């Protein structure tokens, strides 16, 4: 999902899992403490981000975003970005979901998968 711009003002961010005592917290308007924690490589990756899967691998720890309040599909979702390689039955379900809620649908080829998990990951 790509969220609409109005949703971002209901978000808080952290430089890592917010359960860590030393996590730097902020909002999208007040994020300097979190940004100060980025390494040079992480800055470059953020500035060069092209939206392709795997581009987040330059980060030493995942960055956390929490959306406060409900996320209403018909109201808060700008578009759905889905893998073009899905099976036909799954593609049809995604199409019906997008149509039901009036959400734009974008199909992309995503050849590379994200594989890096945060330290505190619990399956």
pLDDT tens digits, 74-121: 999 999 988 888 999 999 999 999 999 999 999 987 665 444 444 443
Instruction: Summarize pLDDT for 6-55 with one digit per residue, the tens.
Output: 998 899 999 899 999 999 999 988 888 888 888 888 888 877 766 666 66
**pTM for the structure as a whole:** 0.65
Burial degree of 113 (CB within 10 A; 0-12, 13-18, 19+):
exposed
């Amino acid at each position: 999902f790509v969220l609409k711009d109005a949703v971002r003002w209901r978000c808080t961010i952290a430089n890592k899992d917010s359960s860590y005592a030393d996590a730097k917290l902020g909002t999208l308007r007040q994020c300097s403490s979190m940004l100060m924690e980025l390494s040079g490589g992480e800055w470059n990756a953020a500035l060069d981000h092209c939206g392709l899967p795997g581009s987040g691998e330059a980060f030493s720890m995942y960055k956390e975003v929490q959306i406060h309040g409900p996320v209403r599909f018909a109201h808060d979702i700008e578009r759905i970005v889905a893998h073009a390689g899905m099976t036909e039955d799954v593609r049809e379900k995604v199409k019906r979901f997008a149509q039901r809620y009036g959400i734009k649908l974008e199909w992309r080829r995503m050849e590379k998968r994200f594989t890096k998990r945060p330290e505190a990951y619990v399956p």
